[in-house]
Amino acid sequence: MFDNLIGQEVAKKLLSGALAENRLAQSLLFYGPDGVGKELAAVELARALNCQGGEGGLFGEAPKPCGACDSCVQTAAYRHPDFIYLFPAPHPSSESDKRKTAEEIGEFLKDKAGRPFLQPRFDKPAAITIDDIRELQARTALRPYQGRRKVALIAGADAMTIEAANAFLKTLEEPSPTTHFILVTARPHRLLPTIVSRCQKVRFSLLAREQVERALAERHGAAPPEAALLAAVSGGSLGRALEMMDQDLLADRDAAWEMLGAAVRGDHGRMLAAIEAAAREKGRPERVLGFAAAAVSDILHRRLRGRAAVQDKGEETDSLARLLSPEDLGRIAGNIERARDALGHNVNPRLCLAYACAAGQEGEHDTDIG
């Protein structure tokens, strides 16, 4: 089971053990960084619970989903009647905006069926509202329509409004015996503690660089050099690497080195111009910071082991390695990581990029962000 999930041995063992012994908790919380397979694991679990083939057949428990029956196929395509996929979305008031949002969601689900790591992107603020929870309650109150269980996957569960979270808590307190809730989040500290305490917690971790590289090359059609570069800048998130695969990577890499080089040399004009260029386009700050993190790691390799890894920036790597001590590099790496985290929390991208640069300049690394 979980053949399509890279790494995550602890989570896999816990979940397949619980399934095999028919003691899977009704409410589960999958938490850990973005893009490491939490949703994929939830879909796999939903398939296992409702598979019509496999061991156990229709009326028993099927520990390993067959992947081929109607139920497995429909679940993976997000259109099984007993599999509910809830995620943060905009809730516009005008009819025309509602129609537009519904269309966007439809398109997203179609794409998501073939690309399980895809995340919804909306221009307007997105949330899980009390209306969403009421609809969820109505759907989970009924008996399973076609399968043995109803499974509700709630992605981005931390985006519930307070009213939504309180309403959802009531559902968790009196769950229907045939329903499983799987909450997924990268920010479990933002959930109501009373919700967290009612769930069995399953932790997912960042992947090793080699795991990301292999997955990109073997399962997602990346050419080997591209897979190596993407894996290096992914920070252990396969989802992040896949998102970057569609982008103009070399331009982003150059922007990261330009920003870092200017910051280290105290060239404020160039640094601000680089930040401005990186911040203008949606999604770019994440990628530039990813490359900046990989650049710092390359410079550190150069310093400590006399050779640079991964990125083809020999001269600049040498030059920055002469200007920075390992302590400087550690501090910069820490700031870049905090800046990446802050970006994920919707902190202004310019501020995040500037924060990542701050440790490259003496005396400016003690400020806090987000």
CB nearer to Zn ion: pick between 53 and 344:
53
Contacts of residues 302-311 at CB distance under 8 Å and 24 or more positions apart, as own/partner, are 303/329, 309/232, 310/228, 310/229, 310/232, 311/229, 311/232, 311/253
CB nearer to Zn ion: pick between 72 and 229:
72
Q: For residues 21 and 30, is the Cβ–Cβ distance under 8 A?
A: no
By CB under 5 A, residue 66 contacts Zn ion: yes
CB of 66 to Zn ion, least distance (A): 4
Of 6-14, 66-74, 197-205, 333-341, the segment contacting Zn ion by CB under 5 A is 66-74
Place of tokens 């069926």: 113
CB of 228 to Zn ion, least distance (A): 36
User: How long is the chain?
Assistant: 370
By CB under 5 A, residue 1 contacts Zn ion: no
Interacting positions 321-360 with Zn ion (CB under 5 A)? none
CB of 21 to Zn ion, least distance (A): 20
Cα–Cα nearest to 29, from 17, 38, 37: 38
CB nearer to Zn ion: pick between 64 and 287:
64
By CB under 5 A, residue 72 contacts Zn ion: yes
Q: For residues 239 and 36, is the Cβ–Cβ distance under 8 A?
A: yes
* Cα gap 121→103, rounded to integer Å: 13
> From the list 51, 84, 164, 230, which residue makes contact with Zn ion (rule: CB under 5 A)?
51
Cα–Cα nearest to 101, from 127, 63, 75: 127
By CB under 5 A, residue 76 contacts Zn ion: no
Of 32-40, 69-77, 79-87, 291-299, the segment contacting Zn ion by CB under 5 A is 69-77
* Cα gap 271→294, rounded to integer Å: 18
CB nearer to Zn ion: pick between 52 and 161:
52
Residues lying near Zn ion in the complex (CB under 5 A) = 51, 53, 65-66, 69, 72
